[in-house]
Amino acid sequence: MKYDRILIRYGEMTTKGKNRNIFVRRLKNNIARKLQAFERIQIEYMRDRMYILLNGEPHEPIIEKLKTVFGIHSFSLAMKCENDLDAIKETALAAVRQLPYKGKTFKVSARRVDKQFPHRSDELNYEVGAHILRQTDGLTVNVREPDIDVRIEVRQDGTYVTCRDIFGAGGLPVGTSGKAMLMLSGGIDSPVAGYLSMKRGLEIEAVHFFSPPFTSERAKQKVIDLVRKLTTYGGRIKLHIVPFTEVQQVIYQRIPNEYSLISTRRAMLKITDALRRRQRALAIVTGESLGQVASQTLESMYVINEVTNTPILRPLVSMDKLEIIELAKQIGTHDISILPYEDCCTIFTPRAPKTKPKKEKVLHYESQLDLAPLLEKAVNDTETLVIDEETGQGDEFAELF
Amino acid sequence: MIYLDNSATTKPFPEVVDSFVAVATNYFANPSSLHGLGMKSERLLAQAREQIAAMLRVKPNEIVFTSGGTEANNFAIKGVAWEYKQRGRHIITTKIEHPSVVEPCRQLEELGFEVTYLPVDHEGRVSVEQVERALRDDTILVSVMHVNNEVGTVQPIEEIGALLARYPKTLFHVDRVQGISKVPLDLKQAGVDLCTISAHKFHGLRGAGVLYVREGVRLAPLIAGGGQERQLRSGTENVAAIVAMAKALRLAMERYDRDIDRLQALKDEWLEALAAIPDIEINTPRDGAAPHIINFSLKRGVKPEVFVHELEKSGIYVSTTSACSSKKKAPSKTLLAMGLGEDRAERGIRISLSFDNSREEIAPAVAAIKQAIKTLSEVTE
């Protein structure tokens, strides 16, 4: 007897009242897309839980994939059997035997949802516990802090046995909160900001500023790799690559050195906002963290943000650098981010950027040159890649592998 | 030709050779070069790393490419010894390891390290209790092979890993050269810190191997230089062989999914046919052995080396014990350690299968084996 299904418990979605079905359906679709390689599985969903029927597909790789789906609070491998005491005993025993149980402790926690079932919970605990104890070696009972908690749930449609809870990614299903543009530089922070915004149910499209030959193909590839990492959590993500060389050069030549950084940021935000309108998104996500660098002081943010009233979401605003690095490592973007290629934020950096820029001065300097046509051109020449978790990129090499 | 020496080396898959040629021809640039062609080589390397990591269910940054199994084993053992010598100077391994594990241990002994070589039982298996008894405060490394290369015995890696989980200062290295794509092992679940695999044992090409180095484990590099492989293993990467290795591993794992039951059945059939020959004794244990290795001893009077050449005349290729030590005329250390006696240990023959072997080969091969024994017995008697 093998685990035949995975039981999925919802997280925060359960507080959504009448809208819950929208969330559940989206979660189901996200899971189905994530598991499309496993052709035989079936997904059954109801208001309070979901089951993935394995139909012979291996559970280990499915579990690994489920860990990256937002909206899942926890999940467990489960077996289903008839509401019959002997069947329950055998099923529970089989569930334990599939775990590394030697030298461990266990207990049985039964719940009788179906009150028609003739055996009471404590009776079930005793009967099933005794059966497992008799049929195994090296397993002992501990009702306070067991290593293995054998849970038995007798419901109308059958009895479910689960042994091990695995924590899910939490959050809300991607796509239930609308769409936002993520400004993605290639550094450590912005991918983490993308991850956190997806965790809140946002669908994201990434925007990257590319300045050849000052920034190299490797830098662009790095961003593609970062987006591909993020697709682990968000399925398919669009990446907009904005040709930014000209804008950067003009600003560098025409704006006083200490204000060039601020102006560059304003130009980036204007372009991103134009792309946002085109893509019908409602917000912009950045990896800014208050006080981290010159452009992220409150004064700078104020002057940069002045170009738009689109909501700018800054998921990292309250985090320490070390916390951000830790999270980047967890989600697998850190090692890509630290690759040492020049990016749009490292070229043309002024020696001493203003940390307390004045809005009037920026406006004054910018009024001396007409950036608008250049910005418009950058938006129009933007190249868009669709990066998919399954197909990924690298078709050029596909047959070599 | 009936090729029964797959534990020595496997025949490369044709698709793998194609990949090698394509990469070596079209993407020959140095992956460290700044230009676009260098970037393509770098991409290939990164993709190979990701693919191999995914198949081993580890992270890409835990994969270090080496020149093969011998280098990976040396690196694991000496790398730990140098890096952690302040922590302790005691290493535990077994009496039946491959020379690429034993010899570095011997070198370390000359430098003041202490090595415990654990015995094995009559089936060639080390016991967890013995590992536990050998553990000391200053034990920095336990190195145990996954599948024995001579007789095919599978070692209790998961159990040893579970034991070592209680000894965080002791690292666990597994030489998985014979086990990969034949016997499943989940490195993370088994608590393995370092693991060796080699491309030419799963239909890849010689010159490429992998040392899995768990995140958090530090190793002193054996090969210092340009700082490739995160400073751990310098030297311009062998991109073509590495890409070919990634492909070989994918194909070999697919063959495992499709053919493992057939391979196991094939081995059983082989064992049955061999057991029916009165002049040989089977050394491979019945249970807990890999699906591709069969070891037996010839009767007295038949010299293994001569036997190998006699079979070769009929186009059948087998080994005396392990290929790496077969040129030395010494009894098999594994068979000796199993307590089979010097005489039997001197007459070991190994048949090693791959997914490409078939049932049809058994009858003619067994007939040739019988004939060879007969011919050679007559000569020596």
| Domains in chain B, CATH or no CATH each | 2-8+259-378 (3.90.1150.10), 14-251 (3.40.640.10)
| β-bridge partners, A112 | A154
State whether A161 and A186 are in the same domain. Answer: no
Contact call for residues A168 and A67 (beta carbons, < 8 A): yes
Mean of the per-residue pLDDT values of chain B? 94
| Residues of chain B contacting A, Cβ within 8 Å | 19, 22-23, 34, 36, 39, 42-44, 46-48, 51, 57, 59-61, 158, 162, 186, 243, 246-247, 250
State whether A249 and A360 are in the same domain. Answer: yes
Q: Which amino acid is at A213?
A: P
Q: Which amino acid is at B236?
A: T
| β-bridge partners, A79 | A161
Instruction: Encode pLDDT of B5-24 as tens digits.
Output: 999 999 999 999 999 999 99
What is the pLDDT, as a whole number, of residue B301? 80
B242 CB-near residues (< 8 Å, 6+ apart): B44, B45, B48, B65, B208
What is the pLDDT, as a whole number, of residue A218? 86
Please answer yes or no on whether B61 and A218 come within 8 Å at the CB atom: no
Q: Which helix (H) or strand (E) holds A175?
A: none
Q: Judge whether A401 lies within some domain.
A: no
Distance CA B221, CA B227 (A): 10
What is the pLDDT, as a whole number, of residue A395? 67
Q: Is the dihedral of CA B162, B167, B169, B175 positive or negative?
A: negative
State whether A99 and A147 are in the same domain. Answer: yes
Q: Judge whether A399 lies within some domain.
A: no
The average pLDDT across A267-274 equals 97
State whether A237 and A368 are in the same domain. Answer: yes
pLDDT at A128 over 80: yes
pLDDT at A391 over 70: no
Contact call for residues A13 and A71 (beta carbons, < 8 A): yes
- What number of other Cβ atoms are within 10 A of residue A246's Cβ? 14
**Which tokens in the block code for residue A154?**
């007798």
B343-to-A223, B56, B297, B350 alpha-carbon distances in Å: 64, 40, 9, 16
Check residue A66 and report its DSSP letter.
H
Reported as a pLDDT band with limits 50, 70 and 90, residue B323 is low
**Which tokens in the block code for residue B290?**
């890999």
CATH of the domain at A93: 3.30.2130.30
- What number of other Cβ atoms are within 10 A of residue B300's Cβ? 13
Distance CA B316, CA B309 (A): 9
What is the pLDDT, as a whole number, of residue B379? 67
Distance CA A211, CA A219 (A): 10
Reported as a pLDDT band with limits 50, 70 and 90, residue B324 is low
Distance CA A66, CA A254 (A): 51
Instruction: Encode pLDDT of B47-85 as tens digits.
Output: 999 999 999 999 999 999 999 999 999 999 999 999 999
State whether A139 and A186 are in the same domain. Answer: no
Q: Judge whether A392 lies within some domain.
A: no
Q: Which of A167, A199, A227 is at the close of a domain?
A: A167
B63-to-A141, A333, B132 alpha-carbon distances in Å: 41, 17, 29
Check residue B10 and report its DSSP letter.
P
A334 is in an annotated binding site: no
What is the pLDDT, as a whole number, of residue A352? 77
Collapse the DSSP code of A108 into the 3-class scheme (helix H, G, I; strand E, B; otherwise coil) and give the result: strand
State whether A185 and A139 are in the same domain. Answer: no
Contact call for residues B116 and B91 (beta carbons, < 8 A): yes
Residue of A nearest to B257 (CA): A58
Enumerate the residues of chain A whose CB falls inside 8 A of the CB of residue B186: 60
Looking at the partner chain, which of B51, B59, B158 has a beta carbon nearest the beta carbon of A401? B51
The average pLDDT across A233-262 equals 92
- What number of other Cβ atoms are within 10 A of residue B28's Cβ? 12
Q: Which of A146, A167, A188 is at the close of a domain?
A: A167
The average pLDDT across B174-201 equals 97
Could you tell me which residue, B89 or A60, shows the higher pLDDT? B89
- What number of other Cβ atoms are within 10 A of residue A173's Cβ? 25
What is the pLDDT, as a whole number, of residue A2? 79
Reported as a pLDDT band with limits 50, 70 and 90, residue A51 is very high
Q: Which of A167, A195, A226 is at the close of a domain?
A: A167
User: What is the least distance, in Å, from the CA of A285 to any CA of chain B?
Assistant: 28
State whether A187 and A333 are in the same domain. Answer: yes
Residue A153, φ and ψ in degrees, nearest 5: -125, 115
State whether A154 and A192 are in the same domain. Answer: no
The average pLDDT across B88-94 equals 98
Please answer yes or no on whether B51 and A64 come within 8 Å at the CB atom: no
Check residue A306 and report its DSSP letter.
T
What is the pLDDT, as a whole number, of residue A392? 52
Reported as a pLDDT band with limits 50, 70 and 90, residue A294 is confident
| β-bridge partners, B233 | B223
| Residue in A26, A319, A327, A281 with CA at minimum distance from that of residue A172 | A26
| β-bridge partners, A239 | A206, A385
pLDDT at B264 over 60: yes
Reported as a pLDDT band with limits 50, 70 and 90, residue B162 is very high
Is residue B324 part of the annotated active site? The answer reads yes
| β-bridge partners, B205 | none
Instruction: Name the region of A72 (left: φ>0; alpha: ψ -120 to 50; beta: rest).
Output: beta
Domain count, chain A: 2
Q: Which helix (H) or strand (E) holds B155?
A: none
Q: Which helix (H) or strand (E) holds B61?
A: none
Please answer yes or no on whether B48 and A401 come within 8 Å at the CB atom: yes
What is the pLDDT, as a whole number, of residue A390? 65
pLDDT at A256 over 80: yes
Reported as a pLDDT band with limits 50, 70 and 90, residue A362 is very high
Mean of the per-residue pLDDT values of chain A? 91
Could you tell me which residue, B336 or A398, shows the higher pLDDT? B336
Contact call for residues A174 and A30 (beta carbons, < 8 A): yes
Residue of B17, B55, B306, B324 with catalytic role: B324
State whether A248 and A370 are in the same domain. Answer: yes
A287 is in an annotated binding site: yes
- What number of other Cβ atoms are within 10 A of residue A280's Cβ? 8
A183 is in an annotated binding site: yes
Reported as a pLDDT band with limits 50, 70 and 90, residue A295 is confident
Q: Judge whether A199 lies within some domain.
A: yes
State whether A243 and A163 are in the same domain. Answer: no
| Residue in B94, B20, B55 with CA at minimum distance from that of residue B180 | B55
CATH of the domain at A223: 3.40.50.620
- With a pLDDT cut of 90, the percent of chain A lying above it is 72
Q: Judge whether A393 lies within some domain.
A: no
Instruction: For chain B, say whether A291 makes contact (Cβ under 8 Å).
Output: no
Q: Judge whether A173 lies within some domain.
A: no
Check residue B223 and report its DSSP letter.
B
Enumerate the residues of chain B whose CB falls inside 8 A of the CB of residue A100: 158, 162
**Which tokens in the block code for residue A191?**
């991918």
Helices A59-66 and A20-34 sit at what angle, rounded to 10 degrees? 130
pTM of the model: 0.78
Instruction: Encode pLDDT of B205-241 as tens digits.
Output: 999 999 999 999 999 999 999 999 999 999 999 999 9
Mutation for testing the A interface, residue in B47, B61, B63, B251 having most A CBs under 10 Å = B47
Reported as a pLDDT band with limits 50, 70 and 90, residue B325 is low
Could you tell me which residue, B90 or A18, shows the higher pLDDT? B90
Contact call for residues B257 and B226 (beta carbons, < 8 A): no
Q: A72-81 and A5-10 as β-strands: parallel, antiparallel, unpaired?
A: antiparallel
Q: Judge whether A396 lies within some domain.
A: no
Q: Domain range for residue A283?
A: 179-387
Please answer yes or no on whether B250 and A217 come within 8 Å at the CB atom: no
User: What is the least distance, in Å, from the CA of B251 to any CA of chain A?
Assistant: 9
Q: Judge whether A395 lies within some domain.
A: no
Looking at the partner chain, which of B19, B36, B46 has a beta carbon nearest the beta carbon of A217? B36
Q: Is the dihedral of CA A217, A222, A223, A225 positive or negative?
A: positive
State whether A378 and A310 are in the same domain. Answer: yes
Q: How many helices (H) and strands (E) does chain B have?
A: 11, 12
Distance CA B115, CA B107 (A): 10
- In B168-292 the beta strands, taken as DSSP E runs, fall at 171-175, 194-198, 209-213, 280-282
DSSP A361-379: HHHHHHHTS--HHHHHHHH
Check residue A398 and report its DSSP letter.
G
Could you tell me which residue, B116 or B380, shows the higher pLDDT? B116
**Which tokens in the block code for residue A253?**
């030549």
**Which tokens in the block code for residue A340?**
């040492």
State whether A226 and A352 are in the same domain. Answer: yes
What is the pLDDT, as a whole number, of residue A154? 95
Enumerate the residues of chain A whose CB falls inside 8 A of the CB of residue B158: 100
B66-to-A305, B100, B203, B233 alpha-carbon distances in Å: 50, 14, 17, 7
How far apart, in Å, do the first and last CA atoms of chain A sit?
A: 37
User: What is the least distance, in Å, from the CA of B225 to any CA of chain A?
Assistant: 19
pLDDT at A347 over 80: no
B28-to-B18, B32, B208, B236 alpha-carbon distances in Å: 15, 12, 16, 11
Distance CA A384, CA A62 (A): 31
Instruction: Encode pLDDT of A178-199 as tens digits.
Output: 999 999 998 999 999 999 999 9
Distance CA B42, CA B129 (A): 46
